[in-house]
Amino acid sequence: MLIKKFLFLLVSIFFLSINLQANQVVNKAKELGVLLSGKYIDESMKNKLGKYVLPSRDWMKKYVNNDRAIFYREGGLFGDLDGNGKLDYITWGTGKPCQESQNSAEGRIGCSTINAYSLPFQVYSLDENLNFKKLNNKDLFDWGKSNDKGYPNGTSRIIIQDFNADGINDLFIPNASVELNDGKFNYKGVNPVLVSTGPFKWSASNHKGHLVDKKTKTFQGFSHGSDVGDIDNDGDLDVVTTDFTGVICHYNDGQGNFKAKKCITRKSGAFFVAAVGDFNNDGNLDIVSGNAHYNAEYRKHSPQGDVVKETKNSHYIAMYYGNGKGKFKQIHKLKPAKVGNFIFSEAPEMTAFDFDNDGDLDLVSSNVGMYYSGSAWVAYENINGKLELVDTNIILEPLDEWQDAKTWGSMVKSESNHPWNTYCSETLLIDVNNDGLMDLLCDNAVQHHRMTNTFLINQGNMQFDFVTSDQVNQWVDWLQ
Give the separation between CA 22 and CA 8, rounded to whole angstroms: 21
Looking at residues 85-97, what average pLDDT do you find?
90
Q: What is the band of 3 on the pLDDT scale with cuts at 50, 70, 90?
A: low
Buried b (16+ CB within 10 A) or exposed e, 464-475: bebbebeebeeb
SS3 label, residue 346: strand
pLDDT of residue 31: 82
Q: What is the band of 1 on the pLDDT scale with cuts at 50, 70, 90?
A: low
Residue 418 CB partners (closer than 8 Å, separation 6+): 371, 372, 373, 412
The conformational region for residue 209 under phi > 0 = left, psi -120 to 50 = alpha, else beta, is left
Name beta bridge partners: 325: none
State what percent of residues in the chain have pLDDT above 70.
95
pLDDT tens for 175-218 read: 999 999 999 999 999 999 999 999 999 999 999 999 999 999 99
pLDDT of residue 28: 76
* Residue 43 near residue 59, CB atoms below 8 Å: no
Strands 258-264 and 226-229, sheet pairing: unpaired
pLDDT of residue 133: 98
Q: Is the pLDDT of residue 9 over 70?
A: no
Query: 155, 126, 162, 325: which is closest to 232 by C-alpha?
Result: 325
Residue 14 CB partners (closer than 8 Å, separation 6+): none
Q: Is the pLDDT of residue 150 over 70?
A: yes
Q: Is the pLDDT of residue 4 over 50?
A: no
pLDDT tens for 177-188 read: 999 999 999 999
Residue 447, amino acid: Q
Burial grade of 196 (CB within 10 A; 0-12, 13-18, 19 or more)? buried
pLDDT of residue 102: 84
Q: Is the pLDDT of residue 479 over 90?
A: yes
Strands 426-430 and 246-252, sheet pairing: unpaired
SS3 labels along 55-102: ECHHHHHHHHCCCCCEEEEEEEEEECCCCCCCCEEEEEEEECHHHHCE
Looking at residues 434-463, what average pLDDT do you find?
94
* pTM (predicted TM-score): 0.94
pLDDT of residue 408: 98
State what percent of residues in the chain have pLDDT above 90.
81
Give the separation between CA 70 and CA 76, rounded to whole angstroms: 13
When comparing pLDDT for 416 and 285, which is higher?
285
